[in-house]
Structure 1
Amino acid sequence: MNADLPHDLSPWGMFLAADIVVQTVMLGLLFAALLTWIVCLAKGWELAVARRQTRRALTNLRRAARLDDAGDDDGGPLHLFCATARHERDHAADLAPDGIKERVAASLGRVEAALGRRINRGTGVLASIGATAPFVGLFGTVWGIMNSFIGISQARTTNLAVVAPGIAEALLATALGLFAAIPAVIIYNALARGIADYRALLADTATAVLNLLGRDLDRNRP
Structure 2
Amino acid sequence: MNPADVAQAVPVAHELSFFGLFWQAHFIVKLVMLGLLAASVWCWAIIIDKTLLYSRSKRAMDRFEDVFWSGQSLEELYRSLQSRPATGLAAVFVAAMREWKRSFEGSGRSFQSLPQRIDKVLDVTIQREVERLNSRLTVLASIGSAGPYIGLFGTVVGIMNSFTSIAASKNTSLAVVAPGIAEALFATAIGLFAAIPAVLAYNKLQSEVGKLQTRLEGFADEFSAILSRQIDERIGGHAGHHPANAA
TM normalised by structure 2 equals: 0.82
CA shift in 2, pair 1:117/1:197, >3 Å: same
- Separation in 2, partners of 1:207, 1:66: 19
Question: Given residue 187 of structure 1, which amino acid in structure 2 is its aligned partner?
Answer: A
Give the match for residue 133 of structure 2. 119
Contact 1:137 1:174 in 2 (8 A): yes
Matches within 5 A, 1:14-163: 14-64=21-71, 67-68=74-75, 70=77, 72=80, 74=84, 75-93=86-104, 95=109, 97-163=111-177
Question: Given residue 17 of structure 2, which amino acid in structure 1 is its aligned partner?
Answer: S
Contact 2:87 2:129 in 1 (8 A): no
Deviation, 1:86, is 2.3
Structure 1, unmatched stretches of 5+, are none
Give the match for residue 12 of structure 1. 19
Question: Given residue 183 of structure 1, which amino acid in structure 2 is its aligned partner?
Answer: P
Provide the alpha-carbon RMSD of the alignment: 2.0
Larger Rg: 2
Where 1:92 maps in the other structure, the secondary structure is helix
Contact 1:29 1:180 in 2 (8 A): yes
- Could you give the per-residue CA deviations for residues 128-147 of structure 1, whole angstroms, max 9, x where no partner exists? 10000100000000100000
- Separation in 2, partners of 1:153, 1:3: 25
Contact 1:140 1:173 in 2 (8 A): yes
Contact 2:166 2:177 in 1 (8 A): yes
Deviation, 1:3, is 4.9
- Separation in 2, partners of 1:206, 1:217: 16
- Separation in 2, partners of 1:70, 1:62: 11
- Could you give the per-residue CA deviations for residues 18-38 of structure 1, whole angstroms, max 9, x where no partner exists? 111111111111111111100
- Separation in 2, partners of 1:189, 1:35: 17
- Separation in 2, partners of 1:66, 1:142: 67
- Could you give the per-residue CA deviations for residues 165-203 of structure 1, whole angstroms, max 9, x where no partner exists? 100010000100100000000011110000000111110
Structure 2, unmatched stretches of 5+, are 238-247
- Separation in 2, partners of 1:89, 1:54: 22
Contact 1:140 1:174 in 2 (8 A): yes
- Could you give the per-residue CA deviations for residues 60-117 of structure 1, whole angstroms, max 9, x where no partner exists? 3344376336565542334422322222222223645441111101011100100110
Question: Given residue 85 of structure 1, which amino acid in structure 2 is its aligned partner?
Answer: A
- The number of residues matched between the two structures is 222
Moved more, 210-219 or 173-182: 210-219
TM normalised by structure 1 equals: 0.91
Moved more, 27-36 or 69-78: 69-78
Give the match for residue 244 of structure 2. none
Deviation, 1:206, is 1.2
